[in-house]
A and B are shown apart, each in its own frame.
Chain A
Amino acid sequence: MRIAVLSGKGGTGKTLVSVNLAAAAGRSLYIDCDVEEPNGHLFFGPVNVSEEIISIKIPVVDDNLCSGCRKCVDFCRFNALAYVKDRLLVFEQICHSCGGCVLLCPEVALSEKEKVIGRIRQGESDNVIVRTGILNTGEASGIPIIKKLLGGKEEEPEGITFIDCPPGSACIVMESIKDADYCILVAEPTLFGAHNLRMVHELVTLFQKPFGVVLNKCLEGPDPSEQFCEEKGIRILTRIPFDQELGEWNSNAQIPVRVSSKYRVLFTSLLKTVVKEAQHEAALDS
């Protein structure tokens, strides 16, 4: 079972929720898809870490073979190629690796090389397998890393897989939730939080994913995110209080489930709720 945790707005507590659910679940797999700013591994401090380099294919030109016909330049929708001063230039940063230029070059002057864009690290922390994608700085797209992180569903160990998604609602988030069986939306009690909750709510609805909401940093007084849930009849899975102690653990990259019985109870009960909901949805689906 794959459970994705997302939020739209950044800093609402995606990592807090996914890390603690994985820690509460015992044997589980935690996958950090926030490859631009991965943080889950800072909490888990995994050991026995193995690393895999991730690269993409980038065209290279053989100047001796290039006739300057510019077919590739005209073809490239991403403007990643230019013919300047009798030479073909490749702008690696904006190349999408579609392979089109190589495919259609009549002189066979283009071939492909591997370009490293990041890496995947996998290690263990107690019973949790921690898999992290890390995009190199200066690179534009982490999608190839996410594809690799989530590929090979059959290799996943028994137990639950938790997917910690990047913020936002664009392509990189879509890639992360595509194969999820259930989505947890984490929201905070601000106007900003509610507005972005509305956006990810649209996204999970578009992808027809079963979902529920976790309200985080709950304070006394009105909560625009809670109001939104009530308005739409959305299931609230749990409320995590605004708590100074929790903030301290979080800032020191400690896992509350492992240090506090109060939060062990909270996240264990959230886990039960989520699993029940997800199984119920799966039963409805079949």
Chain B
Amino acid sequence: MKQLLILSGKGGTGKTTIAGAFIKLSDARAYADCDVDAPNLHLIMSQTSSPDKADYFALPKAEIDPQLCIECDQCRVSCRFNAIRSGEVYKVDIFACEKAYKVDIFACEGCGVCEEVCPAGAVSFRPAVAGEMMLYSDAGSVFSTARLNMGSGTSGMLVTEVKKRMKAAMNDADLAIIDGSPGIGCPVIASLSGADMVLVVAEPSISGISDMERIIRTADTFQVEMAVCVNKFDISLVNTERIEEFCRNRQIPFVGRIPFDPEAVKAINSGKTIVEVDCASGRAAREVYDRTMLLLTSEPLKTG
């Protein structure tokens, strides 16, 4: 299975719009939305069946039993994440509590240090559901997606799970298209593992160029092949040319320009991809798709 991952660094450049178009054009049998803290791909991929759902468990978080706690302060002093508050300094808000040691579950990373240092055995760890994974199987294709519960954190692990579920359900597909998340941090790094190629969707602005350079450096660190396209190129021709020049200098294939197109917004708002309606952005996306696929299929398969 060849995995094409769509990334951008900057948010809102059109990852999901392009991913949706590519899925339609390739008739992909496997695809996934790895932007687990703002998933949107399902909004333009009509699903006829109901999904196979599974709970996602993140690392269990600490809990302090007030009956056993001897208020020795060891846990609070040892916690690197400032996740333990004692009654005295505790401000009464959403973590409202009386005078007792309490874990701030939003700050707790589940490392287990507090349990280790507690002389009274007052700390325990209880697994908690941190999100939900959905796997749609429809007319010979699978779509894996998920959503993280609010306040849960750890999106990198969920990204790995979403990809695992996709692969397990459709391991014999030649191509998988994966919609990534913005940024360069843990969810992006988790999505990069196993990717054969990254398509970077850049935006022709000073911010967009800075962000593109950072995502390219990140993908480089993990030695993944790349191609770049520019979305909404007509916002700034000067900046579009700067991006193309950057690609030439870095010898990164440039696979095309897509114009700003009000029809694209209309297509999305009616739950369609831009290649399902006749519009300028859809036509340009087709060309970007053809060039990307040529690169992806001509590239030698990675072993292992």
A212 at the interface (CB under 8 A from B): no
User: Which of B21-29, B209-217, B273-281, B288-296 lines the interface with chain A?
Assistant: B209-217
Among A42-77, those with CB < 8 Å from B are: 42, 75, 77
With both chains docked as a complex, state the minimum distance between the C-beta of A253 and any C-beta of chain B, in angstroms: 4
Report how far A191 CA is from B40 CA in the complex, Å: 9
Residues of B with C-beta under 8 A to A11: 10-13, 182, 203
Does B9 sit at the interface, judged by CB under 8 A? yes
Chain A residues 1 to 30 lying within 8 A of chain B, measured CB to CB, are 8-12, 15
Question: Any chain B CB within 8 A of the CB of A268?
Answer: no
The reply on B155 being an interface residue by CB < 8 A is yes
A8 adjacent to B38 (CB under 8 Å): yes
Q: Which residues of A contact B239 (CB under 8 A)?
A: 251
Say whether B59 faces chain A, with CB atoms less than 8 Å apart.
yes
Q: Chain A residues with Cβ under 8 A from B262's Cβ?
A: 219
Q: Is the CB of A98 within 8 A of B113?
A: yes
Please give the distance in Å from A284's CB to the nearest CB on chain B: 14
Task: Knowing A96-B109, A100-B112, A137-B184, say if A207 contacts B40 (CB, 8 Å).
Answer: no
Decide if B113 touches A37 in the complex (CB within 8 Å).
Answer: no
Contact of A192 with B207 in the complex, beta carbons under 8 Å: no
A256 within 8 A of partner (CB): no
Task: Decide if the interface of chain A is mainly helix, strand, loop or mixed.
Answer: loop
Query: Is the pair B40, A195 in contact by a Cβ cutoff of 8 Å?
Result: yes
Report whether A103 and B116 are in contact in the complex, using a CB–CB cutoff of 8 Å: yes
A96 to chain B, nearest CB (A): 6
From A42, A96, A195, contact of B207 by CB (8 A) = A42
Determine, out of A83-91, A120-128, A168-176, the stretch whose residues face the partner at the interface.
Answer: A168-176
The interface size bin for chain A is 35 or more
Inter-subunit contact B116/A104 (CB<8 Å)? yes
* Given A12-B12, A190-B269: A171 touches B113 (CB 8 Å cut-off): no
Quick one: which of B47-96 are within 8 Å of A by CB? Answer: 59, 78, 80-81, 93-94
Contact of B235 among A141, A168, A222, A247 (CB under 8 A): A247
A222 and chain B: residue at smallest CB distance:
B269
Interface contact B214-A137, CB-CB below 8 Å: yes
Contact, CB under 8 Å: A251 / B206: yes
A11–B14 CA distance with the chains assembled, in angstroms: 9
- For the complex, is B236 an interface residue (Cβ under 8 Å from A)? yes
A:230-255 near B, CB below 8 Å = 247-248, 250-253
CB proximity of A26 to chain B, nearest CB, Å: 24
Interface presence of B154 (CB below 8 A):
yes
Contact: B80 with A97, CB < 8 Å? yes
A140 and B271 within 8 A (CB): no
In the bound complex, do residue B38 and residue A199 qualify as a contact, i.e. CB atoms below 8 Å apart? yes
The residue of chain A having its C-beta at the shortest distance from the C-beta of B82 within the complex is A147
CB atoms of A169 and B109 under 8 A apart: no
Given known contacts A78-B111, A98-B109, A99-B113, is B211 in contact with A37 (CB within 8 Å)? yes
**21 pairs of residues in contact across A and B, judged by CB atoms under 8 Å:** A37-B184, A37-B207, A39-B10, A39-B210, A39-B211, A99-B113, A100-B116, A137-B217, A142-B185, A172-B185, A174-B151, A190-B265, A191-B269, A192-B16, A203-B151, A208-B94, A222-B269, A247-B235, A251-B204, A251-B208, A253-B206
User: 10 tightest A-B contacts by CB?
Assistant: A10-B11, A11-B12, A171-B153, A98-B111, A253-B206, A251-B205, A36-B183, A168-B37, A39-B207, A138-B221
- Residues of A at the B interface (CB closer than 8 Å) are 8-12, 15, 34, 36-37, 39, 42, 75, 77-78, 93, 96-100, 103-104, 135, 137-142, 166-174, 178, 188-192, 195-196, 199, 202-203, 206-208, 219, 222, 224, 247-248, 250-253
B interface residue numbers (CB < 8 A to A): 8-13, 16, 35-38, 40, 43-44, 59, 78, 80-81, 93-94, 106, 109-113, 116-117, 148, 150-156, 181-189, 203-208, 210-211, 214, 217-218, 221-222, 235-236, 239, 262, 265, 268-269, 271
